[in-house]
């Protein structure tokens, strides 16, 4: 069964992060410029939270806070839900669905080694389904050719 390490092997382990005292305005600009939906929040090298588009919308914009004066540490989601490289894709997808999350940091012990998104999991599953479809079509086509040549 495939696990998160399968996705990270293809995607890489780079993770966009900020410190707790980064303003939500600067964090939003980083996410915009990198075309991503979340940032991992670090204290030294330790993951202390995650800042997402949803956090920005619900805890800054909707509450009328000034994004230039509101720090990521004040509104980040914490504690975080994480997985390991050995977490199965099925388990991770189930976790994302049940907790209504789109981004999960990948940790080995306390060390951040990547991030996986719902889009990453869907892309992997789609690729796997396409490969299976090609295999089955080749199998059926080959079986059909064998039956026709036997006649």
Beta strands in the chain (DSSP E): 17-19, 38-43, 46-52, 103-108, 111-117
Q: Tell me, which fold does domain 4-117 have in CATH?
A: CBS-domain (3.10.580)
Residue of 40, 120, 22, 35 whose CA lies nearest to 82: 40
The predicted model scores a pTM of 0.81
Q: Tokens 């295999």 sit at which residue?
A: 135
How would you write the pLDDT of the chain (151 residues) with one tens digit per residue?
689 999 999 999 999 999 999 999 999 999 999 999 999 999 998 999 999 999 999 999 999 999 999 999 999 999 999 999 999 999 999 999 999 999 999 999 989 999 999 989 988 877 766 667 777 777 777 765 555 665 5
Domain boundaries, the chain: 4-117
CA distance 28 to 64: 16
């Amino acid at each position: 069964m495939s696990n998160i390490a399968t996705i990270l092997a293809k995607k890489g382990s780079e993770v966009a992060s900020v410190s707790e005292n980064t303003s939500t305005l600067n964090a939003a600009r980083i996410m915009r410029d990198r075309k991503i939906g979340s940032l991992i929040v670090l204290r030294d090298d330790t993951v202390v939270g995650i800042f997402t588009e949803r956090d920005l919308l619900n805890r800054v914009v909707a509450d009328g806070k000034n994004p230039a004066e509101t720090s990521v540490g004040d509104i980040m989601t914490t504690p975080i839900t994480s997985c390991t490289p050995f977490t199965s894709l099925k388990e991770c997808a189930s976790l994302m669905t049940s907790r209504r999350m789109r981004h999960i940091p990948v940790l080995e012990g306390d060390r951040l080694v990547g991030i996986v998104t719902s889009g990453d999991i869907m892309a992997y599953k789609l690729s796997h389904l396409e490969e299976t479809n090609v295999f089955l079509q080749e199998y059926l086509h080959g079986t059909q050719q064998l039956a026709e040549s036997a006649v």
